[in-house]
Amino acid sequence: MAGVAFEYASFNPLSVEFIKVSHFHSVSPTQSLTALEFFAGIGLARAGLSETGIRTVWANDYDVKKQAMYAGQWGTNHFHLEDVFSIDSESVPNADIAWSSSPCTDLSLAGKRTGFAGTESSAFFGFTNVLREMGNRRPSVVVLENVTGLASSHGGDDLRAAIREFNDLGYVVDVVTIDARRFVPQSRPRLFIVGATKPISGGKRDTFLRPDWLAWVHEEEDLDTFLFPFPQISPLLSGGFTEITEKLSSSDPRWWDATRTEAFLHSMSETQRGRAERFIASGEYVARTAYRRTRKGIPTWEMRAEDIAGCLRTARGGSSKQAVAVMGRGEFRVRWMTGLEYARLMGAGWYNLDGLLESQVHYGFGDAVAVPVVSWLAHNVLVPLILESRQEGRQSFA
């Protein structure tokens, strides 16, 4: 295909975050809510918590590459580079909440669904061991974020084990699923276990955050659970990926050459190619993500019909990278998704990417948690639970 100088309106990457969270709880200096960030990665949970006034006072991860990204954004204060099983609980400060985005590799198909018995996902128990050793210093609220596959792993036994572990530590739990697509143009459903020493009940089992495949959690009598009264959440976005794509000049070397681009088109099925041709013939530019698949032993490219990116992943997880096709006005261009697009799709277009390799950025963001999801959960659930615990504490001394 011939090159084209794509023209776009002026674009401010800091303004495109798709965060629909507003009216955060105002946290006064005297309240000074604090958090511990286990499996911190590049610090996106920290970013989401901070938007609600929750300050991270301690963070941990064992990955040197992620530590480098974390330090570039947040500095080195409070970050502890070590295996979670090696953490000395006495070195962990007091805090109101413990956030854990524990490894999910063993809960996915790529990890052969070995579950919590797997090498990486068993790190969850390193996290709970630290909480157990903290004794009465443990936070009043805990969160475990993971893939939705946790709910079905080993027939639900892994999720049961996680809930019972939290119950044993004195936490009553609620379990919900939130798709980042409610805030950013990326399909990214995740499971959240929220544990509280002083739960707030009154919710319903049939809420949009508790689908049928999670209903059993609140039906098993030996699991200590509660139903938080969740407020309304933003509906799933129907588009927005085109808007957040990085606008590259036609001479940028990241665009694939004509031979590779033609091969991309010709690998598509008839239905897929027809879709691309309609976009090419349109009067304005649109962007779509595409995955490389193997169908009947033949590699093919499959492009999403909707203006929503597929779930970001890391190469380590065994999933292919996403390509980005930009089409319109008779032109067609293809390239790999950029690091800045990864950041924007996680609600973190402001993240400092200076000096980082694209592969490093993909790795850091690919298995992180979307910032606006954390913000919404913190604002609507975690802060109320923390304040409820503090209120109960004051009453007990009255």
Kindly write down the DSSP assignment for every residue of 74-109, as one continuous string. Answer: H-STTEEES-GGG--GGGSPP-SEEEE----GGGST
pLDDT score recorded for residue 318: 42
| 229 and 259 part of one domain | no
pLDDT at position 397 over 50: no
| 44 and 81 part of one domain | yes
In a domain, 9, yes or no: no
| 373 and 339 part of one domain | no
Write out the residue range of the structural domain in which residue 280 sits.
Answer: 241-364
pLDDT tier, 315 (very low <50, low <70, confident <90, very high otherwise)? low
pLDDT at position 362 over 80: yes
User: What does pTM read for this prediction?
Assistant: 0.88
CB 373 within 8 A of CB 311: no
Q: What is the mean pLDDT of residues 55-62?
A: 96
pLDDT at position 329 over 90: yes
Looking at the chain, how many residues does it have? 398
pLDDT at position 114 over 60: no
Write the CATH number for 202.
3.40.50.150
| 340 and 392 part of one domain | no
| 123 and 182 part of one domain | yes
pLDDT at position 23 over 70: no
pLDDT at position 31 over 90: no
| 279 and 227 part of one domain | no
pLDDT at position 20 over 60: no
Domain count, the chain: 2
Model pLDDT for residues 249-264, shown as the tens digit of each residue: 999 999 999 999 999 9
Residue 193, SS3?
A: strand
Model pLDDT for residues 207-221, shown as the tens digit of each residue: 789 999 999 999 999
| 222 and 319 part of one domain | no
| 90 and 152 part of one domain | yes
Q: What is the mean pLDDT of residues 307-319?
A: 77
pLDDT score recorded for residue 103: 75
In a domain, 19, yes or no: no
Residue 295, SS3?
A: strand
CB 375 within 8 A of CB 178: no
| 320 and 347 part of one domain | yes
In a domain, 144, yes or no: yes
In a domain, 25, yes or no: no
pLDDT at position 176 over 90: yes
* CA 95/CA 256 separation, integer angstroms: 49
- Which single residue is written with the structure tokens 């919710």? 203
Of the segments 7-11, 147-151, 338-342, which one has the largest average pLDDT value? Answer: 338-342
pLDDT score recorded for residue 61: 96
DSSP lists the bridge partners of residue 336 as 323
In percent, the amount of the chain with pLDDT more than 90 equals 76
pLDDT at position 119 over 70: no
* CA 152/CA 292 separation, integer angstroms: 27
| 198 and 255 part of one domain | no
pLDDT at position 281 over 80: yes
